[in-house]
Copies of this chain bind each other. A is one copy, B any other.
Amino acid sequence: MPFIPHTEEEVRQMLDAIGANSIEDLFDEIPADLRSFSLDKIPEGLPEMEVAHLMHERARKDSNVHCFIGAGAYDHHIPSAVWEIATRGEFYSAYTPYQAEASQGTLQLLYEYQSMMSALMDMDVSNASLYDGASALGEAILMAIRAHRKSKSKKILVPKSLHPAYRQAANAIVKNQDIELIEIPFESATGKTSLAALSEYAGTDITALVIGQPNFFGVLEDVDGLTRWAEENNTMTIAVVNPLAMSVLKPPGQWGDNGADIACGEGQPLGIPLSSGGPYFGFMCATQKIVRQMPGRIIGRTVDLDGKPGFSLTLQAREQHIRRSKATSNICTNQGLMVTAATIHMSLLGAEGLARAAAGSHDKHRKLVSGLSAIEGVEVKFDSPVFNEAVISLPVDNATVLEALAADNVLAGFDLKKDYPELGNALLVCATEKHSAASIDLFIEKLGALLAS
């Protein structure tokens, strides 16, 4: 019996103690007519060795690709130490740190995480994580609505240049609470959120404006202009940023005159493997004055009975286990282990290492894009500074190109046609510091050959 330690003799001894004849007896409160069904479609158990066979085989099927897709998930270098430590049993197999005294490892780490994220965003406070970037945006919108007491509209302006999946997920999360997400178009030449379109809403009651940096196209938004617009219109700002990029780009706390109110996003670039899209972690930072509206766990530094410093969950009165239906969010289990990895990752890189990774990544992207755009018929779509990825347009059908290159194990980018048909045959392509020059050349060569043929 895998993972069950009981010997037959022990089972007998336990049943005797209980005063039951069989294990089956212990289920005698369950109505008998609920007990007949078959599990035949579930396979027989296998020893670890056989499951390992199976998983190796399946993993092999998805292996050995040259992947140039970014679109919200980025393949950066992760030091070996990160996951060797994060998967230590004491981190890996602990529960949420409710018993503070028995969880100082996790608690101190989370406090350090909060400190690092606050610094990276240049914001006052951080929570200890949300599920992922997209759902964090949903939570940020709900938080803005709670925090912006003067605004009654529940209207949120969301640029169309924001990741489509983020817009969809945020909508799914907030739509049942009569919140309206209003789409703001982007300028077709620059790919930036249109300040002209925004001006339509000037003077009206808007609860918050969402600003992505970089936006889904990799394009750098005019974050100062957008934030100032919000400041002038009594609108809160929600920054959705790539945290690694913030090691080199102006962070949300410095946008406009007073900085963004809330910063959130996807923590994945900070030491989390691609892993088919998850588990990643959503981060959220905010200004001090709205900390009590923040969802999720928060760790505080305090002292013990002897006056020795220690850490514990704090501001729990915001949370569902105390406040139930009046909580700031329903979130309970968050993404602790991912934050553990990210904290170790950030410690190993430091500000300098993060900046070098970001710049190195951007550099590889420039090499890729300059190679691709030198191909006859391939063009860079937007006339704007970008970070780490860019939209290119192809002279022929997107899908055909993607399929042909995939046959050579080159995954050539994210197909924008479905979400942005107005962009024509456009691909979002990305390279990071991890891409070898050979891999980048292969892509350029294959695309060149394909388009020449």
Contacts and interface: CB of A to CB of B under 8 A. Distances in A.
Interface in A70-98: 77, 79-80, 84, 87-88
A433 interface: yes
A271 to B, nearest CB: 13
Contact of A48 (B49, B52, B77, B436): B77
A77 B53 CA distance: 10
A48 B49 CA distance: 31
Contacts of A47: 77
Contacts of A48: 77, 79-80
A434 interface: yes
Contacts of A88: 88
A436 B48 CA distance: 14
Identical chains bound together, number: 2
Contacts of A53: 436
A440 to B, nearest CB: 13
Interface string A110-138: 00000000000000000000000000000
Q: How large is the interface on A (under 10, 10 to 19, 20 to 34, 35 or more residues)?
A: 10 to 19
B80 A49 contact: no
Interface string A32-56: 0000000000000001110011000
Interface in A7-59: 47-49, 52-53
A231 to B, nearest CB: 40
Contacts of A52: 77, 80
Contacts of A80: 48, 52
A53 B47 CA distance: 33
Contact of A87 (B49, B84, B433, B436): B84
A50 to B, nearest CB: 9
Contacts of A436: 53
A365 to B, nearest CB: 16
A52 B80 CA distance: 10
A373 to B, nearest CB: 26
Given A87-B84, A88-B88, A433 B77 contact: no
A84 B87 CA distance: 9
Contacts of A87: 84
A20 B306 CA distance: 45
A326 B408 CA distance: 66
A49 B353 CA distance: 13
Interface in A396-428: none
A152 B389 CA distance: 80
A47 B79 CA distance: 10
A263 to B, nearest CB: 28
A433 B79 contact: no
Give me the 3 closest cross-chain CB pairs, A-B, nearest first: A49-B77, A53-B436, A48-B79
Given A49-B433, A52-B80, 8 more contacts: A47-B77, A48-B77, A48-B80, A49-B434, A52-B77, A53-B436, A84-B87, A88-B88
12 contacts: A47-B77, A48-B77, A48-B79, A48-B80, A49-B77, A49-B433, A49-B434, A52-B77, A52-B80, A53-B436, A84-B87, A88-B88
